[in-house]
Amino acid sequence: MKLDIPPTRMQLLYLKRRGKVARRGHKLLKDKQDELMRRILEFVYRIRELRLRIEDELRSAFGYFYFASSKQAPKATDEALLAVSKSIDIEHSAERILNLKIPKFSKKISGRLIGYGFLSTSGDLDLALLKIDQLISRLLELAELEKTLELLANEIEKTRRRVNALEYILIPSIDETIKFINLKLSEMERGDLTRLMRVKEIVRSKL
Amino acid sequence: MSGSAMAIVGKRETVMPFLATGAKVVYVKAGECAVTVEDLIKDGVKIIFFTEEFIDELSDVLAKYRTETLPCLIPIPSGRGKTKVAIERIRGVIKKAVGADIFLEER
């Protein structure tokens, strides 16, 4: 599609400059897209492994937990869980991947996990709680990775749209307009030349 | 209770064991999950894990915070059988970004 620009020499120079910038931008964005793609592939495999592993572990922990709570009085389970004096503090910082800010978490744990007696609870409860406790750092990692993946995916989508807009819309229309102005200018030059020749002829015939 | 930066949301019987982690555990019933999660985010909770069964309820909230660095909203399996919603979600995200299904088949 031709841009709506007057066919003058000034505009031609301006368009040529714009075309150069657009091409450079296109190359940069394309590189960015490739890099994002490479990163996302790395994350995909890590997330897949991690998620499957967490799922397995969580299932076994839940298994122990249900087993325990069916063996003991429901109140005993509640009491045991209330007696957990642990607390977890999450600190978060941001890391950069290209122009993206991705979160990083670190945890600080204080307090004791098992604060209940042995009498009213079954051993399975201890197992379940210990398992879940060990899981938490992996869950945090999963949170980090999944968020990163989401952000990367968004950015890839955005970048791809930009790359396509440049590649298929802006650059072709600039090229077409440059061609159009070139043709128009040389047509005007030819017109000038013939007019000049004609005038010269008329002037000469009157002498 | 400290651990205000992290919360686990789900049905009572599912998320109760997570009390052992020291994180904030919030019990919800079906239909009130979205509101609860929004409240948690407003309170400054940075990481929210929720059980997979609420993923449909939370789709609006998930879409809203999709482009933000924080909070992280992460589905976890509910421990009852295998629901593949969470994996499907990631698969969808990747499909949209890459244009191909590269998350590969299940084990």
Predicted ipTM?
0.85
When mean pLDDT is compared across A91-100, A180-189, B59-68, B84-93, the lowest value belongs to B84-93
Classify residue A34: in a domain, yes or no. yes
Confidence bin at A26 (pLDDT 50/70/90) = very high
pLDDT at residue A47, rounded to an integer: 86
Classify residue A203: in a domain, yes or no. no
Q: What is the pLDDT of residues B25-78, one digit of tens each?
A: 889 888 888 899 999 999 888 889 988 888 888 888 888 888 888 888 888 887
A182: Cβ contacts below 8 Å, ≥ 6 apart: A12
Classify residue A55: in a domain, yes or no. yes
Looking at the complex, does the CB of residue B100 fall below 8 Å from at least one CB of chain A? no
Instruction: Find out whether the peptide bond into B71 is cis, omega within 30 degrees of 0.
Output: yes
Looking at the complex, does the CB of residue B85 fall below 8 Å from at least one CB of chain A? no
Instruction: Inspect the interface and report whether the beta carbons of B18 and A132 lie closer than 8 Å.
Output: yes
Classify residue A194: in a domain, yes or no. no
How many domains does chain A divide into?
1
| B-chain residue closest to A60, CA distance | B79
Q: Among A139, A140, A153, whose Cβ lies nearest the Cβ of B96?
A: A153
Residue A34 has pLDDT above 80, yes or no: yes
Q: What is the CATH number of the domain that holds A94?
A: 1.10.287.3240
Domain ranges within chain B, ordered by starting residue: 6-80
pLDDT at residue B80, rounded to an integer: 65
pLDDT at residue B1, rounded to an integer: 41
Terminal Cα-to-Cα distance of chain A (whole angstroms): 51
Q: Among B70, B96, B98, whose Cβ lies nearest the Cβ of A103?
A: B70
* Radius of gyration for the alpha carbons in chain B, expressed in angstroms and rounded: 14
Instruction: Inspect the interface and report whether the beta carbons of A54 and B70 lie closer than 8 Å.
Output: no
Residue of A44, A110, A163, A164 to mutate when probing chain B, most B C-beta within 10 A: A44
Residue of B25, B74, B96 to mutate when probing chain A, most A C-beta within 10 A: B74
Classify residue A157: in a domain, yes or no. yes
Q: Which of A109-118, A177-186, B76-85 has the highest mean pLDDT?
A: A177-186
DSSP string, chain A: --------HHHHHHHHHHHHHHHHHHHHHHHHHHHHHHHHHHHHHHHHHHHHHHHHHHHHHHHHHHHHHHHS-HHHHHHHHHT---EEEEEEEEEEETTEEEEEEEEEEES-S--S-SSSS-HHHHHHHHHHHHHHHHHHHHHHHHHHHHHHHHHHHHHHHHHHIIIIIIHHHHHHHHHHHHHHHHHHHHHHHHHHHHHHHHHHHH-
Classify residue A42: in a domain, yes or no. yes
Question: Which chain B residues are within 8 Å of A58, Cβ to Cβ?
Answer: 76-77, 79
Residue B92 has pLDDT above 50, yes or no: yes
Classify residue A126: in a domain, yes or no. yes
Q: Alpha-carbon distance B15 to B18, whole Å?
A: 5
Classify residue A76: in a domain, yes or no. yes
Residue of B1, B4, B6 to mutate when probing chain A, most A C-beta within 10 A: B6
pLDDT at residue A102, rounded to an integer: 86
Distance from CA of B26 to the nearest CA of A (A): 14
Q: Among A61, A111, A140, whose Cβ lies nearest the Cβ of B17?
A: A61
Looking at the complex, does the CB of residue B20 fall below 8 Å from at least one CB of chain A? yes
Domain B6-80, CATH homologous superfamily name and number: ATPase, V1 complex, subunit F (3.40.50.10580)
Q: What is the pLDDT of residues A41-92, one digit of tens each?
A: 888 888 888 888 888 888 888 888 888 888 887 788 777 777 777 778 888 8
Which residue range(s) make up the domain with A114? 26-167
In the predicted model, what is the mean pLDDT of residues A162-189?
96
Instruction: Inspect the interface and report whether the beta carbons of B74 and A142 lie closer than 8 Å.
Output: yes
